[in-house]
Amino acid sequence: MSDAAQRRLLVLASSALLLMASGCLAERQGRTEGVVNDAEPASAQDLAGSDDATLGTDVDWPDDADWPDAEESDAGAVPCNVSDCALAQGPCQAAGACNDDGACSYPSLPNGTPCDDGDDSTTGDICLGGVCNGQPAVVSPPDTCVPCDGCPIAVIELEQPDDVAPQTVLAFDGSSSFGNSAISTYSWTVEQPAGSQSVLTPFSTSALVWFEANVAGVYTFKLNVHDLQGRLSCAASRVVTVTPVAALHIELTWDTPSDPDQTDTTPLGALASVGTDLDLHFLHPAGADYDANEDGISEGWFHPNYDTYWANVAPAGWVPATNPATQPPSLDRDDTDGAGPENLNFAAPTAGFSYRVGVHSWEDHGFGNSIAMVRIYLDGALAYEAATELANHDMWTVATIDWPSGVITPAADCVAGACDPDITIGYWPSQF
Ligand SMILES: [Ca+2]
Ligand SMILES: [Ca+2]
Ligand SMILES: [Ca+2]
Ligand SMILES: [Ca+2]
């Protein structure tokens, strides 16, 4: 297949094509991933670190007296020898002793002692009341479910409303789940919009979890719980919709097939990013004559005053001297280690202007090509989306947006819905 054919731009219908693997993070000479121009959303790290004591899944084990004594026996009239009693009678009994009344006595191991129930399909085996209890290794929330008699009920509580803006940190609490005995395990899952690769923090098995909802769209969260008898609940479900609030919202996500984990994040101080670094660009028409790569052709990208991107997240050059109250656009999220998103919000575009949207592959960090996806939202509604494959240092001119009409014109030659994207290969700005 030719290089041009491989880069064929796909102008997509509302259903997204991207199948993204898992996520990741990265560094770039002082840049760190995440919110870059928005003081509002608290980071998951902030929340998680604020009260570590609430994050665990400590189980409040019942007293031994709550459980039947497995060693109780009516064999008192039968004499025994110590050697007859020495071997433990099960994985949750200690070695036995011969009592004064002639019966063997096998003390139960403490509740919570790890054990092996002999069943390879279970996990997390622990002793309860002298019996080894395993739990199903995989929890698959059923689509429809009727709680069995005595089974626990999973309950999801959410601090935020069910319709939120992008980059909202959702705080879920499953600790109100209940049953005939205490809840012993939690298992959360999430179905995300195409392109979203956020993860449940700190663990998908915590009673309390946080989730950064950065990509616009519909998310479905589910929770299953087990009780101490190992009985499984039906899944509780909660749907959250993320809707952009700015007049103009632009979102960049990307899929890097050769990155084995697209959800990981680059540790602080690491020398290399753990994922690819693509960048969203948004150009004011006054910057169109700038030639950053000095090839004699003006593309406008990387203009020091008129291109909104990671080094220029809220360009002051967009604010006219005649109206200093004007708010420039704002790049609210930069991602340097795979997946994205990068989010740009613009509350008040200027009538009569035509803005340009671009994507630059800054550095693939050895993970190879990525499929970049750009979605443009007008007043919260998806108005345009396009995807294309980008190699390292490719500069993709995506489209122009006319204001106030909202007309979006792809910067591509399209025939019958298939488009050749406008890509400059090996684009590198001279100021870096
Ligand atoms: Ca990332
Ligand atoms: Ca990675
Ligand atoms: Ca980036
Ligand atoms: Ca140029």
Here the CATH number for the domain that contains residue 146 is 2.60.40.10
pLDDT above 90: residue 325: no
> Quick one: 395 and 253 in the same domain?
yes
| Cβ neighbourhood burial of 283 (10 Å; 0-12, 13-18, 19+) | buried
Q: Which protein residues have a CB closer than 5 Å to ligand 1 (ion)?
A: 24-25, 335, 337-339
Rounded Cα distance, 95 and 106, in Å: 6
Full residue range of the structural domain in which residue 216 is found: 50-60+139-242
Among 224, 242, 260, give the residue marking a domain's end: 242
pLDDT of 314 higher than 70: yes
Most confident of 141-145, 208-212, 316-320: 208-212
Give domain status of residue 134, yes or no.
no
User: Which DSSP symbol is given to 350?
Assistant: P
How confident is the model over 349-363, as pLDDT tens digits?
A: 999 999 999 999 999
Task: Tally Cβ neighbours within 10 Å of residue 432.
Answer: 9
- 163 and 291 fall within a common domain: no
pLDDT value of residue 32: 55
Share of the chain above pLDDT 90, in %: 59
The more confidently predicted of residues 189 and 45 is 189
Model confidence at 240: pLDDT above 60:
yes
| 273 Cα–ligand 2 center, Å | 8
Express each pLDDT in 14-69 by its tens digit.
333 333 333 323 334 445 556 666 533 333 333 333 332 222 333 343 344 344 34
Q: In the prediction, which pLDDT does 134 show?
A: 79
Average pLDDT of the chain, as a whole number? 82
Q: Answer yes or no: do 289 and 416 share one domain.
A: yes
227 shares a domain with 210: yes
Domain presence at residue 338: yes
DSSP string computed for 403-429: TTT--EEESEEEETTEEEEEEETT---
Q: Is 356 part of any domain?
A: yes
Q: Do 148 and 291 fall within a single domain?
A: no
Cα 264 to averaged position of ligand 2 atoms, centre (Å):
5
Separation of 313 CA from ligand 2 center, angstroms? 25
| CA–CA separation, 90 and 73 (whole Å) | 15
Quick check: is 431 in a domain?
no
Task: Let me know whether 324 and 403 are in one domain.
Answer: yes
If asked whether residues 402 and 261 sit together in one domain, one would say yes
State the pLDDT confidence band at 85, using cuts at 50, 70 and 90. Answer: confident
Q: Cβ(130)–Cβ(91) under 8 Å? A: no
Model confidence pLDDT, tens digit, residues 256-307:
999 999 999 999 999 899 999 999 999 999 999 999 999 999 999 999 999 9
Query: For the chain, how many structural domains are there in total?
Result: 3
Residue that wins the pLDDT comparison between 427 and 323: 427
Do 403 and 310 reside in the same domain of the chain? yes
Q: Does one domain contain both 231 and 309?
A: no
Backbone angles phi, psi at 27, to 5 degrees: -120, 165
Whether 264 and 229 map to the same domain: the answer is no
- Indicate the SS3 state at residue 313: coil
The answer on 311 and 388 residing in a single domain is yes
Q: Which ligand is nearest to the CA of 340?
A: 1
How far is Cα of residue 139 from the mean position of the Cα atoms in its chain? 19
| Assigned token pair, 432 | 């870096």
User: Quick one: tokens of 258?
Assistant: 């050769």
The verdict on 325 and 340 lying in the same domain is: yes
Measured in angstroms, how far is the CA atom of residue 427 from the centroid of ligand 4? 8
CA of 16 to the centre of ligand 3 (A): 21
97 belongs to a structural domain: yes
The secondary structure of the chain in percent helix, strand, coil, rounded to multiples of 5, reads: 5, 35, 55
In a domain, 390, yes or no: yes
Note whether residue 34 is domain-resident. Answer: yes
Counting ligands in written order, the one closest to the CA of 28 is 3
This prediction has a pTM of 0.69
Q: Which residue has the higher pLDDT, 282 or 326?
A: 282
Residue 129 lies in a domain: no
Question: Can you say whether residue 426 is alpha, beta or left, with left for phi > 0 and alpha for psi between -120 and 50 degrees?
Answer: left
* Span from the CA of 363 to the centroid of ligand 4 (angstroms): 19
- Give me ligand 4 centre to Cα 30, in Å: 26
Token digits for 6?
């491989």
